[in-house]
Structure 1
Amino acid sequence: MLLLLFSSCLAWAGSVAKTPFEQAKKQSLPDSQMISHYLATLDKTSDNAKLVQLGISAGGRPLEALLLSSSAGFLQHSASEADKATVMIFGSQHGNEPAGAEAMLQLARELVAVQHPGLLSRMNLVLMAMANPDGRDLASRHNADNDNTNIDYVALQARETRLLVDALHRFNPDVVYDAHESGIWKRVLTNGR
């Protein structure tokens, strides 16, 4: 029985496309367009995934959230549920800190491949792999207008920050996690940039 369960998980995992980073021959970081395309692929692959565009960055790139849930109400209307926590995760708010985005893409792939059965029946996930797509493409802490969105939550001058605050109001999460990384470790993924 365990062998059958294990082999069915492997079959599911094999049918979901690898993340752009996993597909890269030289393990180079994917740009925002590649990540956006991958998120759209996950949306089309699973009834438990929905890609939502939240707006456009200062540099004209889409800010998107991938919703993952077993609840059609949450996927269609972003409706909170009393018996399920809504968890929102931001990645790459500093574009030169890519690990959060890569981890989220891996998690999304695994959830779409049903490698963590039951998780989506207990929580609704809002994954924003690229909270700063301009910074991602520029390998910078800042967006295309040279704003550091991470320290703009009081002034709300940057377009991206306003979109992230709007998303907080829209999804009303119980938990928010903003994935950052320390300087020494990010050099591994960014080739010293």
Structure 2
Amino acid sequence: MAITLQVVGLYYKYSLDIPFNQGPIITVKEVLDFAQENPQGQYSLSYSVGQGAGASYIDFIMTDIQGEFASPVSGTKYIGGQFSLKQSFAGIGRGDYTVCQYYIRDQKHLPISLPTGPETSFEQANVVQDGYTVIWRLVTICNAIPVLQTGPAASAAPTVQGAPRMNARLAKVVGKPAKKA
């Protein structure tokens, strides 16, 4: 089973030949585990899992690249080393925070719709098939929504003001209550 695994920002994009004995459909976690247990040439991948409110999430993901390498996207050459992405929930309720997200594309590179709710956990998302691509990336979630102020009370130039917002599903995962603006 050929599955492409890409970690945006870590120079990792490989087609992994996962043995079919794991099943015709596997989880995102099985793809990560295979990549971690089977380094691809000069590229090795590792990750750690965090827990919150009974759900698991990728807390940290890293590549260790031995020697000079070229970016799989741009072709730019770099010196090897360790490259990592780490989630940070420090800003939840106060400011921006970062989370690892994954996306799945089918054989035609079309996005796969995942069910909503806790069943989308990377450990339980049993949707990856032969020819699919799993893409991980670290994103920043903005806890403030810009509000445009206009009208007679506002100055001639509109201003932007932050209103605190929180992703309720993520708040449940990390065990913090969601707050309404």
Tell me whether the two structures share a fold, i.e. TM-score over 0.5. Answer: no
Larger proportion of helix:
1
State the structure with more CA Rg.
Answer: 2
Larger proportion of strand:
2
